[in-house]
Homo-oligomer: A and B are copies of this chain.
């Protein structure tokens, strides 16, 4: 159905039907000039991200449901990276006329699923037209007790550097999809008639790579890690989420904490499938992990005295330690060489800081 057929108010009612606030902090959600929230005795965390078609996502291989899910998740990840709990979400979507009502339904289905899983209320937003393509802007509001907020700036000399999950998988997932897209487009190009084009029954070859695709298309913000840290009584001294590659995030932590670091290549967590795909593409798998980005894992530092407690955590690896600032931010390779870390996040080339940095 065309969006213009349905009309603005019916569209909004359709998209926001059955929204029941899950948080007591949500006093009033959609329907007025503003949402109204109440947070007695806590600090509020806010983060926002904008996703533009053709820059941050490619609808050739990104289902809109996944886009909705991921748009929410990357913002939740920022809240967890401050050791907070996401509570409310505002969403703005601008769509061109090639999008149907059902497309928006799909996007919202993904958004709602993400909100539901993380106990977040959708409290407002804006739906509008666009001349060209899809634009999405998400703002998430979270909370934390003042003493629990973890900044990027608290790392100290000798602290252990820890990383959740594994890195580089989302980057390899993207490479796979870009390759299959290339094959598909070349088949389209070769087809001489419209009939031949329609006859193309393209089946991308993703068997056995589902994990990599999922890491890229449907990342999961690590609430479980934030909760495990609390349960274990560990308060990180600094924390950041890995959205723009391990190197880049380590450099942020070091610069903002005024420290150096040593991380060990052999300790960087990798999934088997990531290694296999990197081999196939003839990529250095460590480079993928260091610079790939979009992992949405948590990178954090803890005092040395927390070693045993953090070592006992599931799905968390100690990858190095913090040093004095004059020692620089160093990577120790498998063969014992040392290199200065460099920020080469995959977004760098695109003039794009949709990387979890709260900076305009």
> A residues touching B (Cβ–Cβ < 8 Å)?
3-4, 7-8, 11-12, 15-16, 27-28, 30-50, 52-56, 78-79, 81-82, 84, 88, 90-94, 108, 122-133, 135, 137, 139, 141-142, 146, 149, 151-153, 239-241, 256, 347-348, 350-354, 356-360
B78 x A33 contact (CB < 8 A): yes
Can you spell out 16 A-B residue pairs with CB atoms less than 8 angstroms apart? Answer: A3-B351, A4-B351, A12-B353, A27-B146, A30-B360, A32-B151, A34-B142, A36-B82, A44-B44, A46-B139, A49-B126, A52-B130, A90-B139, A93-B360, A135-B137, A139-B139
Give Cα distance in the complex from A104 to B328, angstroms.
Answer: 34
Give Cα distance in the complex from A93 to B352, angstroms.
Answer: 10
A135 x B94 contact (CB < 8 A): yes
Give Cα distance in the complex from A281 to B256, angstroms.
Answer: 59
Which of A130, A151, A152, A239 has the largest count of B CB atoms less than 10 A from its CB? A130
Residue of B nearest to A132 (CB): B132
| Complex copy number for this chain | 2
A127 x B34 contact (CB < 8 A): no
B31 x A358 contact (CB < 8 A): yes
The 8 Å CB contact of A88, one of B15, B46, B356, is B46
Summarize A's interface: helix, strand, loop or mixed: mixed
Q: Shortest distance in angstroms between A148's beta carbon and chain B's nearest beta carbon? A: 11
> Given A52-B129, A52-B135, A93-B360, are A353 and B8 neighbors across the interface (CB < 8 Å)?
yes
Q: A39: which B residues are within 8 A, CB to CB? A: 39, 44
> Given A32-B358, A33-B82, A84-B34, are A124 and B351 neighbors across the interface (CB < 8 Å)?
no
Which of A44, A53, A131 has the largest count of B CB atoms less than 10 A from its CB? A44
Q: A347: which B residues are within 8 A, CB to CB? A: 8
